Structure 1
């Protein structure tokens, strides 16, 4: 969740990647529009695609976790809610239809409330979804990004704290958590008050964005999550959330201050705008990789142009399909 007050947001200068390459426009389709105002976010991946193609969506403005079926997207079904919280942030899958979500309490006046955050398990293996607390995070200032430590690891998650500029490792069996990465690349870049945001793991790297400034990675141990080398900046750009390609060679970054989606070539360290300034593509936030008709697609959520200071928005938050193999 990008937690900027209006004045801070206006102070942020939109950036296009230093390695910017001219754009082609990918086709988009609005699948569902939520009520206004709804900020569909969590920089952590405000949506996650199930094995059957259904999309789970979280929101910074509600504790509800909702499900949208791309083949019949008219209805958004609430499958569970974060107990005691007013927002659900990151969501990731660890085992078929077993998801983990972080969330807590946030107000426009005070920001995130330290001690309110936790990690919950969402089990969708049965007809009736079950949500249960894995662990409270009493000293975490903001639990935001979330990622599985490794595709074969069914025990450990990585979670970002953008305010403390740290990445923690959570054991979902014991509830134990420990800080594993504290790197200068995780720190906030003025005037943005938050640093490390979304997390994705691919092979032996944890990829992350530093809110509003850069897309980076750190080599890690796939068993402990500890850094095994220095951080690298891949590109500098306006960033909010991203997805990584299945082969780990590309990433797609939402850039919500310039209403765009950027495609990043990780090896070449270049980026190009592939969606921008479309009427429906207002304040893109979360990005997730899925499939439709056998082709890779992206599911992008939006904030609908919401101004947090006034809670006014241009549209409701939207779930949008981007056809990257068109």
Structure 2
């Protein structure tokens, strides 16, 4: 867990005010806030599905594409001479999915064969690759990538996260088709299906089968979305990433839930179903997540990440596919893109 200096002195005051308020008053205050400002950072082509994103320590955004096997770096500075730079194109695969940073500027990417038009995954086609971003700059030439492991027994790998908060060597990877979590030790390259749970499973008969999707680890607990079951769940972890017990539901009414992020208070910002939603875990109201924004700019929202610079600490970045339906109709009207949502300025409690 990292706290960034501009808001750290205010943290005790804000935490006290949030926790001491009654659930009713907290909800009323949050419901009265204005809509946040939503700004387009970069548009890709009309038929580009932006699947996931990560933010480098220097503020640059890494975006994975599902419609082509590529990772781009996007500069959030609107006056940048290089708004988007190709980082790498992966061979012998059709697209990229989860991305996460395991150590400073060392990122890992899931690749595999998933056909949007045919609505299906090719089991066993998935791999995890390493990207060393140290020294990579906007406008630079593409870099090499190193394959870490293949997953021949996987069904549909998707979201990915680090088991340890800093300096670890283990990745946890969601298998949306199998309703499971795989572990990967990037040093030994050992692969293991480490968790299965009914709350991670896809819905019977769903096409495509998209169970567990986004994954995040906080305080030795794995949080996960399940798109088919429309929920956010959590499960306590042992030191090796295995489950200490059965998973439980955190949010039971989250239609289209894709990837998500937790703020320092444990609140959830959830992408999916053409919206960015918020679930306040401090409230404990038990209701469905509130809609932060359903602006047309977040049509087909797929992932959400916090900014890491003083200029965007009050914001989240959201990746989109422009609207899932257009990939089936082949009548494209909205581009896949990355947008910025200024959440804290509109009253949504986000600290990082």
Band the TM-score falls in, shorter-chain normalisation: 0.7 to 0.9
When residues 177 and 23 of structure 1 are mapped into structure 2, their CA distance, relative to the original with a 3 A threshold, is farther
* Greater share of strand: 1
Q: Does 1:311 align with 2:325?
A: no
Q: Does 1:76 align with 2:84?
A: yes
TM-superposed deviation, 1:179: 1.1
TM-superposed deviation, 1:110: 6.2
Distance 1:112 1:229 in 2: 30
TM-score (structure 1 length as normaliser): 0.86
What runs of 5+ residues in structure 2 fail to find an aligned partner?
1-26, 346-352
Contact 1:185–1:231, Cα closer than 8 Å, also in 2: yes
Q: Deviations over 1:18-46 (max 9, x none)?
A: x99847422111011111111111xxxx0
Contact 1:159–1:199, Cα closer than 8 Å, also in 2: yes
Give the SS at the match of 1:185: helix
Give the SS at the match of 1:296: coil
**Which of the residues 301, 320, 325 maps onto 2:339?**
320
What runs of 5+ residues in structure 1 fail to find an aligned partner?
1-18
Alignment length, in residue pairs?
299
Contact 2:76–2:83, Cα closer than 8 Å, also in 1: no
* Greater share of helix: 2
**Which of the residues 151, 161, 183 maps onto 2:165?**
151
Q: Deviations over 1:233-279 (max 9, x none)?
A: 1112111221111x2511100132xx211111124245211112x23
Q: Deviations over 1:175-225 (max 9, x none)?
A: 11111111110011356422111100101110000104101111111x211
Greater alpha carbon shift after TM alignment, 31-40 vs 119-128: 119-128
Q: Of the two, which has the highest radius of gyration?
A: 2
CA RMSD of aligned residues (A): 2.1
Pairs within 5 Å for 1:184-195: 184-189=198-203, 192=206, 193-195=209-211
Distance 2:120 2:317 in 1: 28
Q: Does 1:121 align with 2:130?
A: yes
**Which of the residues 280, 287, 292 maps onto 1:265?**
280
TM-score (structure 2 length as normaliser): 0.80
